[in-house]
A and B are shown apart, each in its own frame.
Chain A
Amino acid sequence: MADTTMRASRRRFTAATGESVAGWLFVAPVVTILGLFLLLPILMALWVSLTDWNGQGSPFRAGVPYVGLGNYTRLFTEDSLARQDFMTSIRNNFYYVVIVVPAQTVLALGLALIVNNRLLRGRTFFRTAFFFPSVTSSVAMSVVFLFIFSTSGAATRLLQLFGVDGPQWFADPRGVLHLLLGRAGLVDPEAPPVALTGGGWLGLSWWEWLSGPSVAMTTIIMLVIWTTSGTFMLMFLAALQDIPVALEEASMIDGAGWWQRLRHVTLPVLKPALFLVLTLGLIATWQVFDQVYVMSQGNPAKTTLTPAYLSYQTAFRDFEYGTGTAISFVLFLIIVILTLAQRRVMRERRPARTGRT
């Protein structure tokens, strides 16, 4: 008896050292590649963001001008073109996020609720149709949307069917909020009030901050909502399938109406999925790049410039690698802060909800 346990423990011991070596060997390639192309680059970029390296030679040799936090302060405090562009990109991306995240979430949730209906025929077909855009190439779809929204394109034709003269989508830098304010007769977009154009914050006038997304940006917004809703619909669907049929039937027998069921049965179950979709949406929307690169390159009048694209452009087109990396680190910070903030908000609300149901 004692003999067998001893043998077993010895075997376990040698097996453990063998396992340790094997374990490290097994993870070595992944660790090496991720370290080399993820961790090391971030450290290198931190250094570059403190310099004025212009892309010539190595950024680590002596003689590369060290500017400390200069690249960062230039983005926030100095009255410079760099700050103006950066703030414009922040404004553009902000409006993009504010529209895309709620729109894709509501659309995804609505589609999921409909497609989840067990009595529906062709559920698989519809689910597939909505999901398909999510798996296709962002570049290819950008090309298609370029065509759809071109001057004589499908979108313009479609609007003409309804007697509406469409704008020159990609050439129109006018802010949608400006247009709405103008339409409501509150301000004249051609001659905005001095009170708004005079003052300002961080290098942009109040009027510029209040532009809303430009007409050109709305095409990118439509494209992205169209592409991403399918994926998020699937996430909602997965959550919906966790609702026990018995629970739904019980609530129906209890006489709960459609709205009551949604409010008291469905939505509480969807809470984690909703949190996930919002978080993933926030993270993704602050990174919009491919569509901007293909469709507009930040034009017209910089109204589709986003921080991700600006950091690329600053580094690889203007060869100001220091400013470019500084922008990407600020972007990183924005994403981290928003994610943490959202996590906190949802955590505070969750116990109250579960207490009630």
Chain B
Amino acid sequence: MTRVTNPNAAPAATARPRSPGPGARSLASTFGGYAVLVFFALVFLYPFVIQIANSFKTEPDATANPLSPLPDPITLAGYERVFLGTGMPLWLGNSLVVTLVVTAGRIFLDSMAGYALARLRFRGRRALFSAVIAVMAVPGVVLFIPKFLVLNQLGLYDSYTALILPVLVDAAGVFIMKQFFESIPVSVEEAARIDGAGVFRTFWSVVLPMARPALITLTIISFQGTWNEFPHTLVAVQSPDLFTLPRGLADLVSGSLGEGTRYPLKLGAAVLATIPVAIIFVIFQRYFVRGANEGAEKG
């Protein structure tokens, strides 16, 4: 351990934290670090273990051993009742349709608008971009009643259109796409233009394929956001035939009477709501990370 002692350093202040010696210190801090990490990993993951394990338990078992990760006996009764006794098949179908349509819409429309804002010169472009930024700042909960008013006024309330149309585009997606298009060199488009491609053609067959990373990010966050969307479905539709999975799940929970009842069923439904996003998360993790940080940059 050779260490250059700095004669100018105030001895009392600097000597104290160093005293255990760097080797011992880093070992201790590494061990401490892992202990903290493992503890938090348990805190962050065990609820999912509880969720999955208890969805395979019988009701008495779930009540008696809620903490146990091992169902005893293992039963599919909870899932059976979710599929046969609730609107689950319908909710799954609705969620799938809404999520796919909204995601496709956002990819197409957001990237078109993002491209125009990044590259096409037209009057009012700056004002429009400021408006998009402003729109992102509007807190969602403030829009519950307003959205209902418009849907009602347009005669769209309680329809698939009401579930889809208001969320078909999103300002954050436009922002992400605009940022990305600005990073693509202009020369690529100029070459396409000189070859005689129109604006849409240039966008569709030249620029859009180059935007793959941004498009994947947009797809992922839009899928995740729409699949999990709850308040919008609350003010857009009313009839159980149009419930999406989160809405159906919320209805299942608040509708049942008494505490501690039918938990395997409810948790099974919750597992089904989590699975698609979990799969996509595991596969496309880095795009989620990028999405989180891109969403941050706008602030």
Question: When the two chains form their complex, are residues A120 and B33 in contact, meaning their CB atoms are under 8 A apart?
Answer: yes
Question: When the two chains form their complex, are residues B139 and A27 in contact, meaning their CB atoms are under 8 A apart?
Answer: no
Question: When the two chains form their complex, are residues A16 and B121 in contact, meaning their CB atoms are under 8 A apart?
Answer: yes
Partner of B267, one of A37, A143, A226, A308: A143
Assembled-state Cα–Cα distance A117/B32 (Å): 13
- Report the minimal beta-carbon distance from B114 to chain A, rounded to whole angstroms: 9
Question: When the two chains form their complex, are residues A143 and B269 in contact, meaning their CB atoms are under 8 A apart?
Answer: yes
Question: When the two chains form their complex, are residues B112 and A29 in contact, meaning their CB atoms are under 8 A apart?
Answer: yes
Given A158-B67, A280-B299: A22 in contact with B147 (beta carbons within 8 A): no
- Report the minimal beta-carbon distance from A257 to chain B, rounded to whole angstroms: 4
Assembled-state Cα–Cα distance A262/B6 (Å): 21
Partner of B141, one of A23, A136, A331: A331
Question: When the two chains form their complex, are residues B153 and A119 in contact, meaning their CB atoms are under 8 A apart?
Answer: no
- Report the minimal beta-carbon distance from A34 to chain B, rounded to whole angstroms: 6
Which residues in window 270-316 of A have CB below 8 A to B? 273, 276, 279-280, 283, 286-287, 289-290, 293-294, 297, 308, 311-312, 315-316
Question: When the two chains form their complex, are residues A329 and B142 in contact, meaning their CB atoms are under 8 A apart?
Answer: yes
- Report the minimal beta-carbon distance from B158 to chain A, rounded to whole angstroms: 13
Judged by a CB distance under 8 angstroms, whether B143 is at the interface is yes
Judged by a CB distance under 8 angstroms, whether A355 is at the interface is no
Judged by a CB distance under 8 angstroms, whether B296 is at the interface is yes
Question: When the two chains form their complex, are residues A137 and B6 in contact, meaning their CB atoms are under 8 A apart?
Answer: no
Mark B256-299 against chain A: 1 for CB-CB distance below 8 A, else 0.
00011001001101110110011001000100110011001001
Query: CB-nearest residue of chain A relative to B144?
Result: A312
Question: When the two chains form their complex, are residues A136 and B278 in contact, meaning their CB atoms are under 8 A apart?
Answer: yes
Partner of A135, one of B149, B165, B288: B288
Judged by a CB distance under 8 angstroms, whether B50 is at the interface is yes
Given A44-B150, A137-B228: A234 in contact with B289 (beta carbons within 8 A): yes
Judged by a CB distance under 8 angstroms, whether B138 is at the interface is yes
Question: When the two chains form their complex, are residues B246 and A37 in contact, meaning their CB atoms are under 8 A apart?
Answer: no
Interface residue tally on A, bucketed by range: 35 or more
Assembled-state Cα–Cα distance A230/B47 (Å): 15
Measured between beta carbons, the chain A residues less than 8 angstroms from B169 are: 29-30, 33-34
B-side interface residues, number (CB < 8 Å): 101
Judged by a CB distance under 8 angstroms, whether A351 is at the interface is no
Query: What are 22 contact pairs spanning A and B, CB under 8 A?
Result: A22-B122, A26-B115, A27-B116, A36-B154, A45-B146, A132-B44, A136-B228, A136-B274, A138-B228, A138-B246, A140-B249, A140-B271, A147-B266, A150-B259, A157-B66, A157-B67, A255-B9, A257-B14, A259-B17, A312-B144, A328-B141, A328-B142
B interface with A by C-beta (< 8 Å) = 3, 6, 9, 14, 17-18, 29-30, 33-34, 36-37, 40-41, 43-45, 47-48, 50-51, 54, 62-64, 66-67, 109-110, 112-113, 115-117, 120-123, 125, 128, 132, 135, 138-150, 153-154, 165-166, 168-169, 171, 174, 193, 199-200, 203, 224, 227-228, 230-231, 234-235, 245-247, 249-250, 253-254, 259-260, 263, 266-267, 269-271, 273-274, 277-278, 281, 285, 288-289, 292-293, 296, 299
A interface with B by C-beta (< 8 Å) = 15-16, 18-24, 26-27, 29-31, 33-34, 36-42, 44-45, 48, 58-60, 111, 114-115, 117, 119-120, 125-126, 128-148, 150-154, 157-158, 170, 226, 230-231, 234-235, 238, 255, 257-259, 273, 276, 279-280, 283, 286-287, 289-290, 293-294, 297, 308, 311-312, 315-316, 321, 324-325, 328-329, 331-332, 335
